[in-house]
Structure 1
Amino acid sequence: MLCYKTIPLGFLVFCFFIHSSFGASSLNHFCFSHENYTADSPYDAHLTRLFTLLQTKVPPTGFGLASTGQGLKKANGLALCRGDVSSEDCTTCVVDASKDIREFCPNSKGAIIWYDHCLLKYSNVDFFGKIDNKNKFYMWNVQEVQNPTLFNKSVKDLLSGLAVEASEAAAAPKFYATGELQLDTFTTLYGLATCTRDLSAADCKKCLDGAVSELPNCCSAKRGGRVVGGSCNVGFELYPIVGT
């Protein structure tokens, strides 16, 4: 069960989670544009076409960009599936996202939605290749660890290393990395770092480093946590967080 608390003066949303597998339910969404479109308008038609293109382009590689229309009526969008997700599950996630974002953000010219397996974002403003620092939220496990100082350091070490690995475009073209760190005989820390692939390698690293630096704001001493954004996200848990 998810529980959200919204910060009135910003886009940050804080929430709790017990387990990382949420099925087809979205993790969160923002209707971030202050502009609206009307039903059956050119932008509405372009958005429908955009979602169809993304549903086709994204699953084979796990990422895709598309634009439809011209000028002020242009719709730009991207979708990213988690690096370990199959093409079939990626398709399902992007299709669900296309449907749900219409329901959650009716008539908004810009919106973003996140799931465990994918994210989808669209806007009438060209945002490709730019770090999205506005659309962001935190998640954390309500349980705490017994040795927070040592644990927090281990989390930072693991995720900082994954940020380097994920942003090395030549070695990791998916801008995606997972890893683990053995804390003791019985405890393993698991981590994940990923970026949308419209970013440069340098901007991916910058985005991930920023996300890691925000972990103390939400997730200090927690057994698991995430910083989830429009361009990148990092997460850690004391159980495997991929393949679910």
Structure 2
Amino acid sequence: MNCPKNETISSDYKSNINNLFNSLLNNGDFVTGFSNSSSGIGETVYGLFLCRGDVSSSTCTKCVSTATTGVLSICSESKKAVAWYDDCMLRYSNETTFSKLDQSVDALIMSLMKFSNSTRLKEVLGQDKLNDVINRAANDGSLKKYAVGEADFNSTKKVTVLGQCTPDISAADCQTCLRTANASLEGGIGIYYPSCVLSFDLEDIASSGGGGVNISTKRLVAIIVTIFVVFAGQI
């Protein structure tokens, strides 16, 4: 969760944040997993949520609800905030966030699993498959801008990669965001920006079940931001 501290926040602005979150929770599209909204005049607050492309609407709803509670608790004196959870991302700002590429802050994920680093996993996956995931995510017509890919790691495990952008940015900006994420992994297995996420995982083939790819294993979270971050992912 990224939010500057010790900012001067008026009561009207705090009220607008609450109204924004109520609007997102009551009117958000939890089926596609993405909605944006704004609240207030003068001290307008802009915000959005993005749920991971493979989660159900109920999981999306629960995650966004948890995120709003967390943000209101931790970022009560902040004009802007970005919160990353395993199943969703929530953000608000005093500047419009709509249709704008934003890579201003990030969270880098490190893995607890042996040999699970981006360099090794990318070698197994191959650059062609990684480029395919980035291109499919950027040009996805399902209002999700989401794509996954996989390759066998060995006889028992497979590498999976997830690429996703907020659907309001252009295909070109989505590609830029994901390619920047790929170049910035620095040995981690995932990187989260306000506009996109690129995440690698190593899964048991037998337990994958052939369903949707679930990038949700036990992780050691390393936070790299310019101000302050508390990452609320799964440990």
TM superposition score normalised by structure 2: 0.80
CA distance in 2, matches of 1:115, 1:148: 20
CA contact (8 A) 1:78 1:121 kept: yes
For 2:117 and 2:44, how far apart are their aligned partners in 1? 52
Distance 1:148 1:116, change over 3 A: closer
The answer to which of 204-213 and 128-137 deviates more is 128-137
Structure-2 separation of matches of 1:148 and 1:196:
23
Please list every run of 5 or more consecutive structure 2 residues that lacks an aligned counterpart in the other structure: 217-235
Per-residue displacement from partner, 1:35-77 (whole Å, max 9, x unpaired)?
4314xx2111111110011113131320000011123x00000
1:160 to 2:124 alignment: no
- Please identify, of 122-131 and 157-166, the stretch whose mean Cα deviation from structure 2 is larger: 157-166
Is the contact between residue 199 and residue 215 of structure 2 (CA under 8 Å) also seen in structure 1?
no
1:98 is the counterpart of 2:90:
no
Out of 170, 175, 187, which is 1:218 matched to? 187
Q: Which residue of 2 aligns with 1:46?
A: 16
Other-structure match for 1:242:
214
Query: Distance between the aligned counterparts of 2:105 and 2:118, measured in 1?
Result: 28
Q: How does 1:48-197 map to 2 (within 5 A)?
A: 48-56=18-26, 57-71=28-42, 73-145=43-115, 151-155=121-125, 157=127, 158-170=129-141, 172-197=142-167
Identity over aligned pairs, percent: 33
When the two chains are superposed, the root-mean-square deviation of aligned CA atoms in Å is 2.3
Larger RCO: 1 or 2 (CA < 8 Å, sep 6+): 2
TM-score (norm 1): 0.77
CA distance 1:181–1:101, shift in 2 (3 Å): same
